[in-house]
Amino acid sequence: MTLTFPTESVPDNFVSYTLKHQEELPPITWNNLHKEVNWLHVTILFIPPILFVIGALHTRLRWNTAVWTIVYGLMP
C-alpha cells in the first residue's frame, strides 16, 4: 500500500512555506534556558563520564589494567 498526496497540497518550496506559516519561537536566554534543555539527555551524556572519572581517581592502577586499557583503546 502506498500513500499518495495531492500535488496541490504540497508547495514547491516546502521550507519557505513552513517558515512562513509557523509561529516563531521565543529566543533562548539565561532566564529560560532551564526550560529548553532536555534534562534526560544531559543526565545520560554527563553523569556516566563523571562517575568514571571519579572511579578512576579513587582506584589504584595496576599493570594489567593499564595494558588492557591501551589495548582496548587501540582496537578498531
Distance CA(30)–CA(50), nearest Å, equals 24
Kindly state whether residue 14 falls inside one of the protein's structural domains.
no
Note the pTM of the prediction, 2 decimals: 0.51
Kindly state whether residue 24 falls inside one of the protein's structural domains.
no
Kindly state whether residue 36 falls inside one of the protein's structural domains.
yes
Distance CA(17)–CA(15), nearest Å, equals 5
Number of domains forming the structure of the chain: 1
Kindly state whether residue 15 falls inside one of the protein's structural domains.
no
pLDDT in tens, 8-58: 666 778 888 888 888 888 899 999 999 999 999 999 999 999 999 999 899
Domain with 44, as residue range(s), is 31-76
The whole-number pLDDT of residue 22 equals 86
Distance CA(68)–CA(74), nearest Å, equals 10
